């Protein structure tokens, strides 16, 4: 995925300070579990109008970015075949949309939705960005 821009890096401390100065939101620690693909789907699909949108979207984006960075580092350093071959123009927002569409399509498949979330996310991204 595309590297974080200098602008975002420069604004991050101000955004974090602003977020921390706001009243506590309805999200509880137990709401941000990443034990299953279903958990990730629930976190990533919180609507913009929900009180818990800000922490949920940050958690979702961080999970996606960490998964992709780890994938890229491991496959590069160990010279392993990559599982995801995304274009340089792909963004974290693209990955979120791809995952949400995949999870919605597979929401009734308990086997897939009960897997650890990194597996579900990689399945979704690999389906959209297969390596040839």
Name the residue among 59, 51, 8 with its Cα closest to residue 26. Answer: 51
Neighbours of 3 (CB within 10 A): 8
- Per-residue pLDDT for 119 more than 90? yes
Residue 57, in any domain of the structure = yes
Res 30: pLDDT? 61
Is the Cβ–Cβ distance between 90 and 1 less than 8 Å?
yes
Owning domain of residue 13 = 6-128
- Answer whether residue 78 is part of any domain: yes
| pLDDT tens readout for residues 53-84 | 999 999 999 999 999 999 999 998 888 999 99
Instruction: Examine residue 1 and state whether it is found in any structural domain, yes or no.
Output: no
Over 90: is that where the pLDDT of 125 sits? yes
| Domain-embedded: residue 88 | yes
Q: Which pLDDT belongs to residue 25?
A: 40
Is 59 contained in some domain? yes
Tell whether 96 is covered by a domain.
Answer: yes
Q: Tell me how many domains the chain contains.
A: 1
pLDDT tens digit sequence for 90-103: 999 999 999 999 99
Whether 30 is covered by a domain: the verdict is yes
Q: Using an 8 Å Cβ cutoff, are 16 and 95 in contact?
A: no
Q: Does residue 21 lie in a domain region? A: yes
């Amino acid at each position: 995925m595309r590297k974080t821009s200098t602008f975002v890096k420069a604004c991050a401390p101000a955004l974090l300070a602003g977020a921390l100065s706001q009243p506590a939101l309805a999200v509880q620690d137990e709401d941000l579990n990443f034990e299953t693909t279903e958990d990730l789907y629930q976190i990533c699909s919180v609507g913009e109008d929900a009180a818990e949108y800000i922490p949920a979207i940050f958690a979702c984006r961080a999970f996606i970015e960490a998964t992709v960075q780890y994938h890229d580092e491991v496959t590069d350093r160990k010279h392993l075949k990559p599982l995801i071959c995304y274009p340089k123009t792909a963004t974290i927002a693209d990955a979120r949309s791809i995952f949400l569409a995949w999870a919605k399509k597979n929401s009734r498949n308990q086997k897939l939705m009960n897997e650890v979330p990194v597996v579900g996310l990689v399945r979704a991204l690999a389906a959209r960005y297969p390596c040839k």
